[in-house]
Amino acid sequence: MKGHENYHIHCRLKELMAQRNITVEELHDLARVSRETISQLRSNAFKGVSAKGIARICGALSIGIGELFELLPEDIWLPIRLTKEVTIHFGSRTLSEPHSADRGADAAIMSRQFMGTWDFKAFKRISEYLLGLKLDIRIRFELHVTGASRGIDPAVHASAERVFAEGNHIVIGSPIANQFTEEVVCHAYNVAPYNPAMRDALPYGFQFDPRHQVRSTFAWQGQGKSFGIAALPSNKIVAPCVIVPSGEGTDGALILVHRVFRKPSLREVGDDEERVVICLLGYSGPGTCAAAQLSTDPEHAAGLYPPARTVPRMRAVACDYFREPSALKDDNREVTGVRLISEHKQPRSINPNSRSRRAAAR
């Protein structure tokens, strides 16, 4: 827990009772404490609960006080620690191979799908961090076929809506690497996806070089000589991407965190339950890994946590990398340094009618 200043005390009574299939009435009889006390602890409220009452509950369940209460750091991983589940979303592409000569030179088959190496490295970093918490967190995966030629896919939009309705989610990849990113980020800021006119509603965006085709609200083709993560609305590059054949280069990324409100009737582990959406959006490969590295660092994970639910927080990340000289064409870059850019002021407030504009844009 190094690096954390704020901690969250979570009472596990609701979970423990569910595991033992014990009702409030049964625990009331076993522990000889009031139903009100039990209800308070089940909802993670401690006001007016006596030490004697807590001791009786521990005795009735044959547990120590350390099993009844957890001390957890307040950071972006708190909702995942509490609910012990998360879905990680990747973008995937399809490679094309030519048919044999007898099938025609212009014919092609879709041979196989692939996921980027750097995305996998970011996933490895995150999964090792979550497994290291030793909380038996259930990790699921979803692949989203992506590509500039796919247009606006209604199925992708529906999946993004679901992200904010249930579960915890981590989305890896920029709008170029993962089209799903476009829908999720725009939904968090309540703006229409694939709509450059809404760009200034976000604090940062991607300024890609002209070789990259992208249809996006917060990513665009730049015309100058500097590309990378840009502050909005100024378009000033705050984390440049400098590609070198060997030696030292730089890259950038965006980290978006959105705390999702959970209806009381749907909460499973107490009144403190919420869900989280985390987006790790690298300009290119090293930036993606840098975002994963910084988000799992206790000294930064707390600062990335939004102060309020339903209000997204986006931060820019800069990184350095080193590339050894090599005759091979493999991407052998290694991240050597990661830093968080000073927080940019939040974007202007969004007009309440933007949801209708978003729907109309479809």
- Residuewise pLDDT in 10s, the chain (362 residues): 444 467 788 888 888 998 899 999 999 999 999 998 998 888 777 777 888 999 999 999 999 998 998 888 889 999 999 889 999 998 887 655 444 444 444 444 444 555 678 999 999 999 999 999 888 899 999 988 876 555 556 667 777 888 998 899 999 999 888 889 999 999 999 999 999 999 999 999 999 998 877 889 999 998 888 999 999 999 999 999 999 989 999 999 999 999 998 877 777 776 778 899 999 999 999 999 999 999 999 889 988 999 888 899 999 999 999 999 887 778 889 999 999 998 866 544 444 444 443 444 44
CA distance 339 to 34: 51
CA distance 303 to 138: 25
pTM of the predicted structure, to 2 decimals: 0.81
Burial tier of 263 (Cβ tally within 10 Å: 0-12, 13-18, 19+): exposed
- When the candidates are 1.10.10.60, 1.10.357.10, 1.10.260.40, 1.10.3720.10, the CATH number that belongs to 7-73 is 1.10.260.40
At 99 the pLDDT is 46
Question: What are the domain boundaries of the chain?
Answer: 7-73, 78-360
CA distance 262 to 166: 8
Q: Identify the H or E element spanning 120.
A: helix 117-132
Going by C-alpha positions, the residue among 120, 249, 97, 241 that lies closest to residue 177 is: 120
CB 201 within 8 A of CB 290: no
At 14 the pLDDT is 86
Q: What does 194-215 look like in DSSP terms, one character per residue?
A: T-GGGGGGSSEEEEE-TT----
